[in-house]
């Protein structure tokens, strides 16, 4: 088994959608970025790539590349999963922490888990999404941006087989 961690931050600005874990959360301000700026899915992808030893999302999806402009990060997650499956990795479980003063995430947590679980093709019980504030402190507390952390565990099917032999 292999562990990976991911972290990401995006600014909150007017005139953008607030897409988190593939779910559009109603908000007066949205996340600024080259893609849909889904900060939590970005942290998740970096955790997945980190666990697999495949680098990070900047390496595969550079923000200078026009083909990724405003793209849904779920499409990028599908690409990351294809890379993992090619390397015979499957996701054991994933845990995500969203750090935001607002908007309120709790009504959307279940939908976020369902969305990510279906893209990673794992049971929903193996995907945890939680949100916290930083009590008004720092850039998340001031509502300037949203941060996200993710930790994942990967299982290498090939290695498991080799170890059994």
Q: Cis link prior to 161 (omega < 30° from 0)?
A: no
Q: Which stretch binds Mg ion (CB under 5 A): 2-10, 16-24, 71-79, 129-137?
A: 2-10
Smallest separation, CB 162 to Mg ion (Å): 35
List 4, 21, 27, 42, residue binding Mg ion (CB under 5 A): 42
List 4, 8, 127, 154, residue binding Mg ion (CB under 5 A): 8
Classify residue 144 by its DSSP letter: S
Angle formed by the axes of helices 73-86 and 39-52, to 10°? 10
Angle formed by the axes of helices 39-52 and 109-120, to 10°? 40
**Residue 90 vs 139, nearer CB to Mg ion:** 139
- Give the count of beta carbons closer than 10 Å to the beta carbon of residue 27: 18
Structure tokens at 57: 């999302």
**Residue 59 vs 164, nearer CB to Mg ion:** 59
Asked if 38 interacts with Mg ion (CB under 5 A), we say no
Q: Contact residues for Mg ion (CB under 5 A)?
A: 8, 42
């Amino acid at each position: 088994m292999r562990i990976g961690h991911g972290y990401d931050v995006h600014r909150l600005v007017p005139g953008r959608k607030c897409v988190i874990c593939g779910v559009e959360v109603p908000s007066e301000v949205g996340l600024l970025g080259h893609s849909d700026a889904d900060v939590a899915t970005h942290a998740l992808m970096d955790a997945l790539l980190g666990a697999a030893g495949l680098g990070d999302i900047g390496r595969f999806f550079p923000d200078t590349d026009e083909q990724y402009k405003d793209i849904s990060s779920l499409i990028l997650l599908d690409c990351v999963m294809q890379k993992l499956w090619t390397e015979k990795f499957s996701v054991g479980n994933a845990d995500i922490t969203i750090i935001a003063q607002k908007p309120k995430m709790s009504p959307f947590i279940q939908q976020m888990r369902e969305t990510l679980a279906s893209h990673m093709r794992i049971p929903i019980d193996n995907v945890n999404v939680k949100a916290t504030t930083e009590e008004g402190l720092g850039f998340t507390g001031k509502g300037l941006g949203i941060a996200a952390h993710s930790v994942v565990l990967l299982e290498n099917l090939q290695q498991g087989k080799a170890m059994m032999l």
